């Protein structure tokens, strides 16, 4: 039975088995390759997407459970190539490194900024606990994100 | 699996509790409830086979409710860690459980991993909620085609591998009490990792400041979390004293048959327990 998925505002039909990890459906069936397959254990956050506005690891999300939800991938954050304010700040601060963890970092911070009244560095660190950056660029990532909300806190 | 089995039969999304119970009973012992799926989706990494049938229960509204009254806190099986941490934040007597729910794994896992899943993942030694529930005297309510039953978490842990077809965790019940409680964990990194060892403590104090009720539970050391009765007996009737508690914990470390794991050998898990107990008792002292 096909799965009805709402991905980046569009209704899509997937022929995958319902237990297929959502990240594989996104990448292999719909060619949305922003979410990366890395650990497949939910530890690294490279596959992170928003499901009903909340960041989830799509490697552990069966596509069948995501059906009926609102799935947003990193591709949706820059429609027509116009970067979101967060993405713009990350670019301006020259934060992007190897790029493997970055879509997940952007998803985590997008959700954090959408749901947090008083963003600060410590809370941002906690929000990024599940995003492993092997290039160890965390402080500059935080600087960039903080520049949007609290310029005085950015180093 | 018969060739005629369809995807809809293999992965069924239940909308009500009776629907889920019936679907599980109909599919028999090879069917498994699926809530947040974070444990089940890692089955291939553990070289485990997926079950032939899954019945998804996370869309059932009644399983996602937390209700609080003067006597108890009722937590639906599909309440996520993130939801639980938020709902319990204002309840001082449930501090251990709120802390466990808010510190387990990482934020994205906490958005989907559920209370019921944490209790039912029988191979998951490092489940944070289990020792916290043990120290709070929680009970598990099971729903089956013939009715429901309640049993203590420790009893459920002993029985969980042999649940009957159609029998699922409906909710967890935490009794309210004038207690202090704490959940202390030691991950290898500051956060986002499995804990090497967990100590959950709950105490009630008499007017003189002595312990007149205590529950100590340990997680991640043995394959299944359990109460630490020997430590409880030594702390009962005494004032909260972190140093003494740590000494007693060291003297009772031999009761554990600790598991070796990729992140830590068994002896290390036991070695850190006195330190965790010291931190736990200090935290209890700080809860005025």
Residue-wise pLDDT tens digits, B138-189: 999 999 999 999 999 999 999 999 999 999 999 999 999 999 999 999 998 8
In this predicted structure, what is the pLDDT of residue B3?
Answer: 43
Element (H, E) at A147: helix A138-149
Coil, strand or helix at B198 = strand
Chain B residues close to A42, C-beta within 8 Å: 38, 42, 105-106, 108-109
Q: Using alpha carbons, list the distances in angstroms from residue B101 to A154, B95, B133.
A: 31, 10, 11
Residue-wise pLDDT tens digits, A115-145: 998 999 999 999 999 999 888 789 999 999 9
Q: Please give the domain boundaries of chain A with CATH numbers for all domains.
A: 3-76 (3.10.20.30), 79-153 (1.10.150.120)
* C-alpha closest to that of A16 among A7, A8, A25: A25
Q: Using alpha carbons, list the distances in angstroms from residue B127 to A12, B86, B101, B104, B262.
A: 36, 19, 10, 8, 16
Please, which residues 96-135 of chain B have a Cβ atom closer than 8 Å to chain A?
A: 105-109, 111-112
Class level of CATH domain B7-56: alpha beta
Q: For residue A15, what is the nearest residue in chain B, using CA coordinates?
A: B7
Listed in order, strand segments (DSSP E) in chain B are 11-13, 31-34, 53-56, 66-68, 72-76, 139-144, 147-152, 168-175, 180-187, 195-205, 211-219, 226-227
Question: Is B61-175 a CATH 3.30.465.10 domain?
Answer: yes
Please name the fold of domain B181-286: Enolase-like; domain 1 (3.30.390)
Rounded-to-integer distance, Cα B122 and Cα A18, Å: 24
Residue-wise pLDDT tens digits, A33-62: 999 999 999 999 999 999 999 999 999 999
Residue-wise pLDDT tens digits, B19-48: 999 999 999 999 999 999 999 999 999 999
Domain with CATH 3.30.43 in chain B: 7-56
Least CB–CB distance from A56: residue in B6, B112, B192: B112
Find tokens 């998925």 and name the residue. A5
* Cβ-defined contact of A130 to B59 (cutoff 8 Å): no
Domain with CATH 3.30.390.50 in chain B: 181-286
* Cβ-defined contact of B59 to A68 (cutoff 8 Å): yes
Domain with CATH 3.30.465.10 in chain B: 61-175
* Cβ-defined contact of B11 to A17 (cutoff 8 Å): yes
Return the half-sphere exposure (C-beta side, CA atoms, 13 A cut-off) of residue B277.
Answer: 29
Listed in order, strand segments (DSSP E) in B23-167 are 31-34, 53-56, 66-68, 72-76, 139-144, 147-152
Listed in sequence order, the residues at least 6 apart from B191 whose beta carbon sits closer than 8 Å to its beta carbon are A126, A129, B103, B106
Please, which residues 224-283 of chain B have a Cβ atom closer than 8 Å to chain A?
A: none
- Mean pLDDT, rounded, of chain B: 95
Listed in sequence order, the residues at least 6 apart from B99 whose beta carbon sits closer than 8 Å to its beta carbon are B132, B182, B183
Residue-wise pLDDT tens digits, B203-236: 999 999 999 999 999 999 999 999 999 999 999 9
């Amino acid at each position: 039975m096909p799965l009805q998925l709402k991905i980046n505002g569009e209704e899509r039909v997937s022929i995958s088995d319902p237990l297929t990890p959502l990240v594989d459906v996104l990448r292999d069936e719909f060619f949305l390759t922003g979410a990366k397959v890395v650990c497949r254990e939910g530890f690294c956050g490279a596959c992170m997407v928003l499901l009903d506005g909340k960041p989830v690891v799509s490697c552990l999300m069966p596509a069948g459970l995501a059906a009926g939800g609102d799935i947003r991938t990193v591709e949706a954050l820059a429609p027509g190539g116009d970067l979101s304010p967060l993405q713009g700040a990350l670019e301006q601060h020259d934060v992007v490194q190897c790029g493997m963890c970055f879509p997940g970092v952007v998803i985590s911070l997008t959700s954090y900024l959408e749901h947090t009244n008083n963003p600060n560095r410590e809370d941002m660190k906690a929000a990024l606990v599940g995003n492993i950056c092997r290039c160890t660029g965390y402080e500059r990532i935080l600087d960039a994100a903080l520049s949007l909300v609290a310029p005085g806190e950015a180093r | 699996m018969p060739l005629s089995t369809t995807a809809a039969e293999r992965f069924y999304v239940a909308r009500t509790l009776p629907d889920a119970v019936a679907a599980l009973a109909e599919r028999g012992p090879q069917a498994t409830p699926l809530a947040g799926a974070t444990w089940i989706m890692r089955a291939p990494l553990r070289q485990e086979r997926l079950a032939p049938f899954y019945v998804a229960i996370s869309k059932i509204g009644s399983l996602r409710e937390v209700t609080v009254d003067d006597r108890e806190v009722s937590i639906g099986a599909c309440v996520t860690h993130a939801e639980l941490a938020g709902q319990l934040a204002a309840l001082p007597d449930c501090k251990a459980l709120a802390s466990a729910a808010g510190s387990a794994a990482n934020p994205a896992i906490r958005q989907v991993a559920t209370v019921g899943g944490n209790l039912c993942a029988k191979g998951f030694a490092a489940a944070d909620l289990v020792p916290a529930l043990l120290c709070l005297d929680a009970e598990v309510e099971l729903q089956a085609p013939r009715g429901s039953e309640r049993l203590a978490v420790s009893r459920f842990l002993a029985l969980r591998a042999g649940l009957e077809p159609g029998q699922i965790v409906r909710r967890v019940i935490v009794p309210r009490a004038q207690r202090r409680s704490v959940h202390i964990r030691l991950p290898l990194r500051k956060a986002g990792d499995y804990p090497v060892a967990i100590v959950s403590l709950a105490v009630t104090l008499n007017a003189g400041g002595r312990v007149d009720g205590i529950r100590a539970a340990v997680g991640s050391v043995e394959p299944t979390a359990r109460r630490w009765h020997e430590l409880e007996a030594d702390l009962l009737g005494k004032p909260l004293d972190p140093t003494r508690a740590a000494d007693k914990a060291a003297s009772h470390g031999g009761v554990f048959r600790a598991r070796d794991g990729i992140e830590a050998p068994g002896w290390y898990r036991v070695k850190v327990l006195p330190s965790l107990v010291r931190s736990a008792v200090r935290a209890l002292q700080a809860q005025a």
